Structure 1
Amino acid sequence: MKVLAFGGSTSSTSINRQLANHAASLIPDAEVTDLDLRSYSLPIYSSDEEEANGVPKDAHAFLETIRAHDAIVVSLAEHNGSYSAAFKNLYDWTSRIETKLWSEKPMLLMASSPGGRGGATVLETAKATFPRMGADLKATFSLPSFYDNFSSESGVSDPALAAELSVAVAKMSH
């Protein structure tokens, strides 16, 4: 199974990218593509920009990357209770090409943050909208207090949270 993994952030040290790649690595027989959102350079979406210049090639490239995979593991960064500006902009542009941009791919939807809520607000928003946008949402997972509960060597360190993630990952194989 070809699995696309990415974090909804352009930080070079994105905790959500780390979490997405860790979770994807737990899927049996997965061939994981680690996507870096910094690879996409897009003007801020506006109808005037779209009318003048069309949809940028990087939005087309993102959609083609989604289509080239069998499943998606995404972990969203939460900025002021919502998507990061970079992710939202890419999401908006790509939806101009194809409303169901997630292409009906099975998805493990996650969020993490340094705080105790673990990106709960952005996760709820995405849970409500991603299925309408073509996500076959198999499971969700929130990792609170990332720096206390994750290690780059072993992944999720809290046993209860690790078990919860294992259950979520298992749903990707069905």
Structure 2
Amino acid sequence: MKIVAFGASTSSTSINKALASYAAHLIEGADVIVLDLNSYKVPLFSEDKEKEIGQADDAKTFLADIAQADALVISFAEHNGSYSAAYKNLFDWATRIERNVFANKPAVYLSTSPGPGGAQSVLAAARGSAQFFGADVQSSISVPNFYENFDLEAGAFKNQDIAEQINQAVSKL
């Protein structure tokens, strides 16, 4: 099984990328590809820019990278209660090429933040729109207080309850 995972953030120290990678690697025998959103350079989306350049090449690459997956693990970063601007921009370009961005693939949706909210707002938005963009969401989990619950050096959860929830979520893939 080929799993494509990514954190919907461009931070070089993205906790959402760390969470997505961790979760994807729990799937025994899976071939895991972790995408870095910094690899996709697209201009700020507007209809005027789209008329000028057509389809953004890196949005096509993003879609091709997703297409190679059997399943997806995505962790959504929350910026002021919504998607990160970089992810939303890439996603907007991708939907102009193929509205069914996630190609009806099974997915686990995650979110985390340093605080107690665990990026629940953006996760709710992502879940609410998933059906319109071809994501077959099998499970979703919001992880609060990331740094208190996850040991970045060890690459593992300190909180065993959350670790078990993540394990159960990815087992549905």
- Shorter-normalised TM-score: what interval? over 0.9
Shift of 1:32: 0.5
Extract unaligned runs of 5+ from structure 1: none
Shift of 1:154: 4.2
Matches within 5 A, 1:1-174: 1-152=1-152, 153-172=154-173
Q: Deviations over 1:76-103 (max 9, x none)?
A: 1000000000000000000000111100
Shift of 1:169: 1.2
Shift of 1:73: 0.4
CA distance in 2, matches of 1:154, 1:92: 32
Percentage of identical aligned residues: 47
With normalisation by structure 2, the TM-score equals 0.97
Shift of 1:132: 1.4
CA distance in 1, matches of 2:33, 2:155: 20
Structure 1 moving runs of 4+ over 3 Å:
none
Q: Which amino acid aligns with 2:41?
A: S
Q: Which amino acid aligns with 1:12?
A: S
Quote the RMSD (CA, aligned, Å).
0.8
Extract unaligned runs of 5+ from structure 2: none
Shift of 1:130: 1.5
CA distance in 1, matches of 2:78, 2:150: 17
CA distance in 1, matches of 2:143, 2:88: 21
CA distance in 2, matches of 1:161, 1:130: 23
Q: Deviations over 1:81-140 (max 9, x none)?
A: 000000000000000001111001110100000010100000000000022100011110
